[in-house]
Amino acid sequence: MYDVSNIDIWKFKISAYLKALGLHVYLVTTKKSYFDNDKYLGANAQALDALKHILSKEHLFIVSHCDSAFVV
C-alpha cells in the first residue's frame, strides 16, 4: 500500500514490481517517449492495473481520471 511517509522506499518497491511485470510495463511508467511504442497499450493496461491495486482509495480517486500510467 502507498505510504507517503516512506516515498523513497515505495518508489523503489513499485519500480521493482513493475520491472518484474516486464520491461515494457516499467518503461511505460518512466519514459514519455514510450507512447509511440507498439507495446504501449498492453503495458499501460498492466501498469494501471498494478497501480490500482497498490494505491489507497484516496490516492486512487485523485488519479482515477488518468489514462496513462506515465501521468500517475
- Distance CA(62)–CA(30), nearest Å, equals 19
- Global pTM reads 0.76
Q: Give pLDDT, residue 46.
A: 92
Average pLDDT over residues 48-55: 85
Q: Residue range 34-47: average pLDDT?
A: 84
* Confidence (pLDDT) at 3: 63
User: Please, which residues have CB within 8 angstroms of residue 69's CB and are 6 or more apart in sequence?
Assistant: 28, 29, 44, 47, 48, 51
Q: What is the pLDDT of residue 62?
A: 84
pLDDT of 4: 61
Residue labelled with grid coordinates 511517509: 5
Q: Where are the domains of the chain?
A: 4-63
Q: What is the per-residue pLDDT for 10?
A: 82
**Confidence at residue 22, expressed as pLDDT on a 0 to 100 scale:** 92
